[in-house]
């Protein structure tokens, strides 16, 4: 019997890699994708997965990714959109080009990936699609427009997809990462507040897998995760 297939789009050294490892631990065949797939070769070998080149802002490239995964590994039962981009700056300082780039990666890419996954899952009558959100999904802070706008849009997309696809057997979830992920942002010194003052990628990945494992009689749509010291 072939392994169930998971696709993770937006795989870096932090959460994306942790997700791939957790899904592989669960016995899944994992496709890991990003724009520079050569950086994924070591991870793919470690987990017995397969790396793919994909620019999520290109709808044709995303369709090609899912077609290749289905042909080489099988039809995905779990897809995570974890890609994003952010360039800080006040509204008087950020360029329209940077604003659009962040939106295309953070939101439009989620649409392309979510749609491609949904097309296959609806046909099968089952599957899980998870989008990675952030504190900025709920609050547009000063100098964070480049992050908040795409994250607000991604959350809206997840809500619409959940209402559309849930009755057809597809579980759509949105995870708000309300805090800093360990290893994903330079400059943090854990000795100041303790190692568990930031979100451990493996702990987040466990929550994602449990979302996928939920019985459909009690699905979670939105989950927020934060370290125990984080104010909210």
pLDDT for residue 38: 84
pLDDT for residue 227: 95
Total structural domains in the chain?
A: 1
Domain with 59 in it: 5-225
In order, the DSSP letters of 203-222 are HHHHHHHHHHHS-GGG--SE
Kindly state the average pLDDT of the residues 215-222: 98
Q: Is residue 87 part of a domain?
A: yes
Which CATH number does the domain housing residue 149 bear? 3.40.50.720
Q: Is residue 32 part of a domain?
A: yes
Q: Is residue 230 part of a domain?
A: no
pLDDT for residue 192: 56
pLDDT for residue 36: 85
Indicate the pLDDT class of residue 39, thresholds 50, 70 and 90: confident
Q: Is residue 210 part of a domain?
A: yes
pLDDT for residue 74: 97
Kindly state the average pLDDT of the residues 70-83: 97
Q: How far is residue 52's CA from residue 47's CA, in Å, rounded to a whole number? A: 14
Q: Is residue 232 part of a domain?
A: no
Above 70 in pLDDT, residue 189?
no
């Amino acid at each position: 019997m072939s392994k169930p297939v998971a696709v993770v789009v937006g795989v870096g050294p932090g959460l994306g890699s942790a997700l791939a490892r957790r899904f592989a631990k669960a016995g899944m065949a994992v496709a890991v994708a990003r724009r520079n797939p050569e950086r994924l070769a070591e991870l793919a070998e470690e987990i017995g997965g397969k790396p793919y080149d994909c620019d999520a802002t290109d709808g044709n490239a995303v369709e090609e990714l899912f077609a290749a995964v289905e042909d080489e590994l099988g039809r995905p039962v779990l897809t995570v959109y974890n890609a994003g981009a952010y360039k800080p700056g006040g509204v008087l300082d950020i360029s329209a080009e940077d604003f659009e780039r962040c939106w295309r990666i953070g939101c439009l890419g989620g649409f392309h990936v979510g749609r491609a996954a949904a097309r296959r899952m609806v046909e099968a009558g089952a599957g899980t699609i998870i989008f990675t959100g952030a504190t900025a999904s709920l609050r547009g802070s000063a100098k964070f427009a480049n992050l908040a706008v795409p994250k607000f849009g991604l959350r809206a997309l997840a809500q619409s997809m959940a209402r559309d696809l849930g009755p057809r057997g597809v579980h759509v979830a949105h995870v708000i990462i309300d805090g800093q992920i360990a290893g994903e942002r330079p400059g943090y010194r854990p000795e100041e507040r303790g190692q568990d003052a930031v979100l451990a990628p493996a702990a987040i990945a466990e929550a994602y897998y449990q979302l996928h494992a939920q019985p459909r009689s009690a699905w979670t749509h939105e989950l927020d995760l934060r370290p125990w010291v984080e104010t909210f």
